[in-house]
Amino acid sequence: MTALKDMDFKILAELMKNSKISDRKLAKKIGVSQPTVTRRRARLEKDMIDGYTTIPKWDKIGYKLLAIILVKSKPIYSTEEKYNAVRKRGFEWLWKQPNIIMGGACEGLGVNSFIMSVHKTYGEYDNFNRKVRLELGDLIDDMKTLLINLSAKERLKPLHLKYLAEAL
């Protein structure tokens, strides 16, 4: 790893811990000039950072459940055109669902795609699950869901990217 990459990773790690940190404070923390940090942050934002977001305290804003839905698709991809049509339909459907925070292809446990969504009540989740089956049921062979109580006392480590920054 070159010095350039080392510095970029240091900047990225600090931004993952606190994206609101000023370039001046970041420069002081890693021992370089503020203009250097500003230039490199701009390059990182273009090439490596997908965006800045807030990670809320889910239960404080009313979300009580995180659902991880594992999906086994029906084997209907006999041609490239069918595969692309199904993929496009799934992609468009996912982007229209505001409570889905992540979704896509995966491997393992006999499934090939997943959806992560947040819900305010079990009833809301149940309606969402019904919607998935009604709108995409012709593409789904099987679904398995893991429900996580977002306000549980047993949640020992909340979702946050600042922990990953230590691995950079």
So what's the pLDDT on residue 1?
Answer: 39
160 assigned to some structural domain? no
Across 1-5, 80-84, 145-149, least confident range: 1-5
Check pLDDT > 60 for residue 4: no
> Could you write out the DSSP letters of every residue in 73-125?
E-S---SHHHHHHHHHHHHHHHHT-TTEEEEEEEEETTEEEEEEEEESSHHHH
Interacting residues of 1 by C-beta distance below 8 A, sequence separation 6+: 9
Tell me, yes or no, whether 80 and 111 share the same domain: yes
Q: Which helix (H) or strand (E) holds 147?
A: strand 140-149
**Residues 31 and 104 placed together within one structural domain of the fold:** no
Query: Under a CB-based contact definition with an 8 Å cutoff, are residues 161 and 80 in contact?
Result: no
The mean pLDDT of 63-82, rounded to a whole number, is 88
Phi, psi (deg, nearest 5) at residue 74: -70, 145
**Are 109 and 70 found together in one domain?**
yes
Statement: residue 27 has pLDDT above 90: yes
Most confident of 11-20, 79-88, 126-135: 126-135
Residue 30: alpha-carbon gap to chain centroid: 28
The parent domain of residue 21 ranges over: 3-47
Alpha-carbon distance of 21 to 129, in angstroms, equals 39
Residues 77 and 31 in one domain: no
Return the pLDDT at 77. 67
